[in-house]
Structure 1
Amino acid sequence: MKLSGPVSLVLLLVLTGVCAAYLTVGVLDLDPRRTTNTVTVLMDSSGGLMQTSQVDLRGMRIGRVRAITATGTGLAVRLELDAKYRVPIGSEVRVSNLSAAGEQFMDFRPTGMAGPYLTDGSVVPARQVRVATTVSEALAKLDVLNAQIDPAKIERLAAILSQGYAGREREIATLTKALTMTAQLLHDKRDAITRLYLNGQALAENFDGYGPVIGGWAADFTEVLPEAVHLIKSFQGYSYAGEQVWDEPLGPLVQKIDQYLAVLGPDLAHIATALRPSTSVLKPVRVDAGSIIDLLSAVFPGNGTARVTLDVPK
């Protein structure tokens, strides 16, 4: 069915109005039903913000930047915020990159939701604003850093490292194995190491307050140290003197005496053989040590006076 000209024109006008309303509300974010608050944020630098940059509340979109004007001390950024969102006036304001392409946005990050809140006409001071490094600034700093690097020095450094690793494959493998075993040890003995650390903390806490006492020993150690050093040096000198005396005068003398005794001394084995018949009769003799102790205890009872008992003959 073919529509007539007036009907087609009306439908075209309706479609145009719908598209215009969508572009106004959805794209341009101009909703006539919404109430907004105009807030001014003072900044030292724009950080890449534009008049259409997005404004968020911890990542949630709440408004846009509408104007950026210069002041005597920096910039004044005028924001249009949705009035239904309550933003604490002491919130930190960060200007960060929205994406890797370098699109900047402003994000309010309150530490709590307690008031007072931003209202129409509120001013956020510059001390609450944190501006992140922009992509252009990072690239400029990277370019300056690259300009300071000498390719010849880098090449020499790489050659030195290559020479240092050449022929050291076995040592590197051993080092890698040692590091792996150390990591395994730390993993397996984690509880023991934790206990050792806690015991060390407890020991340090127990020593708390003894610092002045130990520090008072410094004067005593200072006085004793020279005498101790003198004593050690004296012992060292005596050891050297004794070593020379024993090795030179006494050593040969003792050796000579031993040689003379070996020549002049009788054969003890023959003497023992000759005395065996006379000493054999002494084998049955037994000494009763207990009886001797009892006798001495009776004679000397312990009061300092000796006591003697006599048997009177009948």
Structure 2
Amino acid sequence: MNALGYARERRLGLSALALLMMFVVGVVYLLFGTLRMDPARSDKLVRVHLAETGGLLPGQDVTLRGVPVGRVRSIDLSGDGVVAVAALHPDTEIPTDSEVRVSALSPAGEQYLDFRANRNDGPYLDDGSEIDRSATSTPVTLGTLLGNLDGTLQQIETAKLGAVLDELRVGPEGSAKLAAILDGGAFLVSTLDSVLPQTVSLFNTSRVVLGTVRDVNPGLAATSKDLNSVLGGVQRMDAGYRTLLDRGPDTMAGLDDIVADNSPTMVQLLGNLTTVSQLAYLRVPALEEFLFPQYRAGSALEALGSSFRDGGVWGAVSLYQRYSCDYNLPHAPPTVPDHPEPYLYTYCPNPDPKYLVRGARNAPRPPGDDTAGPPPGADPLRRADPTPTGPLTIQTPYAGPILPVPPAPSGP
């Protein structure tokens, strides 16, 4: 009762003492807890070179990947930028090659200095360390943003934008659609932000592509004009294409039947064509000179084309007998219908160069080719291989085929 009475008698003084204690506790909490001030702590001072402040002010936080590790002590001007002095806690270990970025908590500001370490081992930043400007980055300033936004806004056609807004306002769900468009735009921007390097690379590549398209724009215009003419011709021939497509399956089926009927002899035919193609390849210069001459006037195609003129076919007949070569081969009577295979080596034995000037002996040949005469030691009476026969081949023995012709074998 004495203590209770003593407290009741001095309640004003005790209340003042309690308020004073609460004030002291609040000040201590504010200094050491909120403001994180510790007079007994010796901080490490690190100088960070920046191109610009980016809104950073003295007294703002210094973080290591978002975790507070100190405060910005001061910001000083340098020759080509600014220097932010960061006071770090003495027990903080930050690698010397860490990247530093000025970040913001919100669009309204609240910038802070954020260290981003790429490893956990040393060496670490110490008192007096400096971070080069090449390892720092700052956010886009408001002035730069407004300048770029001004160029973007100038490209917007207000009349068309007003028409879009009017259409959205007319519909009963116009506001909801506008909100969906804005939400989609925000989602697109956030997605592009997550892949910012790829987006920048895409824009740079697109600039090259669009520049190339701009350079070839006249050619594209001419191509589109020509393509319009081609498609116009295709449209005029629509009936013919439809007829072709209608008759195409029957024609292809007939072609398949021809290939199937001649399949036994097709392999040997293709083998012979291989030999023909090899010979033709070796004589490409001669064929080019024959069709498109470079060392003489006129060509075989021009001569053949000149024969068809004035509504008729024109030709010249020479009454003078020309020289003919005797190939020194046996001559079969034309009345004997045995259809023998031709001789392989039919070369003119007359070496006089004034005869057969355009003969096979004087044809252009590739280097090392010696086919102007028969091979050494070849049989001059050798004939070609027998003609391949198939199930549908009509045999031509002596005096003609056997009649009636037997039916073709059935089955595969």
| Greater C-alpha Rg | 1
Q: Could you state the TM-score of these two structures normalised by the residue count of structure 2? A: 0.38
